[in-house]
């Protein structure tokens, strides 16, 4: 069966500090991978999606970036965090060409 | 105009009643529709998907789709306090990418 992992689970960072969140998927190959952000009490905002290694599409221009160094690894990064980057970051996967997305446990980020 | 709209609630129903959750979408070309449940502080989990007009039943859950009216709903029969959560409607938009657009969710409260 497929499993998706995210870490860390929670993170408190000062404004201006860098960020690296990691997501890995087990039990599948060539998945589509997605990063979403959910602000408190709000819906999910798609940040990035990837259909393969090194293939990243950005949905929202901002100070975040994503990379996919391996087939089942997806990383979300920032060089300098802003207060507005606080939120619940969710990684999701789907089979290649499929529509159904499955979410990881999420990382709760608080920028102070 | 929001692409996927849901009433934020809270929708309060007594235990054992039928809960009806509604969602409208703006992209007439949408083909795939999903309902996710999100408990407070947790990540979304897939309840069910629906692709064709009509009803689709899975246990206590029934999804209903009407593409002509651009409307999708979720019925929960015999509601239980454990069903208390936020329910997210998601729609796949065929804009050249395989990604979902989420509504902001409806909070359901089932009163014991």
B44 and A90: CB-CB below 8 Å?
A: yes
Contacts across the A-B interface (CB distance below 8 Å): 50
Question: In the predicted model, what is the mean pLDDT of chain A?
Answer: 93
In eight-state DSSP terms, residue A83 is G
Look at chain A and count its residues.
Answer: 112
B100 and A105: CB-CB below 8 Å?
A: no
Give the DSSP letter string of chain B: --SEE-----EEEETTSPEEEEEEES-TT---EEEEEE-TTS--EEEEEE-SSEEEEETTEEEEEETTTTEEEEEESS--GGG-EEEEEEEE--SSS--EEE---EEEEEE-
The C-alpha of B6 sits at a distance from chain A's nearest C-alpha, in angstroms, of 10
Lowest mean pLDDT among A9-18, A33-42, B17-26, B93-102: B93-102
Convert the pLDDT of each residue in A5-44 to its tens digit.
999 999 999 999 999 999 999 999 999 999 999 988 778 9
Nearest to A99 among B43, B88, B98 (CB): B98
d(CA A34, CA A32): 7
Tell me whether A106 touches chain B (CB under 8 Å).
Answer: yes
A101 and B100: CB-CB below 8 Å?
A: yes
Determine which of A25, A34, A44, A94 to mutate to test the interface with B (most B C-beta atoms within 10 Å): A44
Question: How many CB atoms within 10 Å of residue A61?
Answer: 6
pLDDT score at B63: 98
pLDDT score at B94: 64
Q: SS3 for A21?
A: strand
Q: Which residue in the block uniquely carries the two structure tokens 């999100």?
A: B38
pLDDT score at B97: 62
Confidence check: pLDDT of B96 > 60: no
Q: Which residue in the block uniquely carries the two structure tokens 């446990």?
A: A105
Confidence check: pLDDT of B93 > 90: no
Nearest to A99 among B92, B103, B104 (CB): B92
Look at chain B and count its residues.
Answer: 112
């Amino acid at each position: 069966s497929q499993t998706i992992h995210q870490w860390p689970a929670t993170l408190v960072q000062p404004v201006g500090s860098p960020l690296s969140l990691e997501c890995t998927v087990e039990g599948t190959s060539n998945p589509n991978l997605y990063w979403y952000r959910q602000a408190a009490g709000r819906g999910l905002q798609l940040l990035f999606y990837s259909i393969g290694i090194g293939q990243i599409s950005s949905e929202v221009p901002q100070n975040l970036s994503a990379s996919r160094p391996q087939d089942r690894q997806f990383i979300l990064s920032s060089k300098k965090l802003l207060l507005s980057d606080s939120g619940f970051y969710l990684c999701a996967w789907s089979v290649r060409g499929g529509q159904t997305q499955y979410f990881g446990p999420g990382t709760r980020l608080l920028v102070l | 105009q929001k692409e996927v709209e849901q009433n934020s609630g809270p929708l309060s129903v007594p235990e054992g009643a039928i809960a009806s959750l509604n969602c409208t979408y703006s992209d007439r070309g949408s083909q795939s529709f999903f309902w996710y449940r999100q408990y407070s502080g947790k990540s979304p989990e897939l309840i069910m998907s629906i692709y064709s007009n009509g009803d689709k039943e899975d246990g206590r859950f029934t999804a209903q789709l009407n593409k002509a009216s651009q409307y999708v709903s979720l019925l929960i029969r015999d509601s239980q306090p454990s069903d208390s959560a936020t329910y997210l409607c998601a729609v796949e938009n065929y804009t050249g990418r395989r990604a979902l657009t989420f509504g902001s969710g409806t909070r359901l409260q089932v009163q014991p």
